[in-house]
Amino acid sequence: MTQPQPKPIDQLNFEDALKELESVVHGLERGDTPLEESITAYERGIALKKHCENKLREAQAKIEKITVDKDGNVSSEPLDPEK
């Protein structure tokens, strides 16, 4: 019986990618997977890690600092504006 193909990484949200990455790590830590499957799992794990890092960077870029001036006007600016 063949296993279903995993979902393409670029279609995973952060939570699903992290959950799969944790599963890959636990599977590799157990050490009961044949070598070729371990290599494939490791490669997918690296790709999942990069995907999670990118998702976190994207989220961080969206975080804004909300300010209220003395007249009560609300505005926002990047939390860490680039100089």
> Where do the domains of the chain lie?
9-78
Residue labelled with tokens 């794990």: 45
The beta strands (E) that lie in 1-83 are given as 64-68, 74-78
Neighbours of 38 (CB within 10 A): 15
For residues 55 and 12, what is the distance between their CA atoms, to the nearest angstrom?
A: 10
Confidence (pLDDT) at 19: 97
Report, as ranges of residue numbers, the positions in the chain whose pLDDT lies below 70: 1-3, 64, 79-83
Pairing assessment for the beta strands 74-78 and 64-68 based on DSSP bridges: antiparallel
0.75 cut: is pTM over it? no
Neighbours of 20 (CB within 10 A): 19
Among the four given CATH numbers 1.10.287, 3.30.70, 3.40.50, 1.10.3470, the one describing domain 9-78: 1.10.287
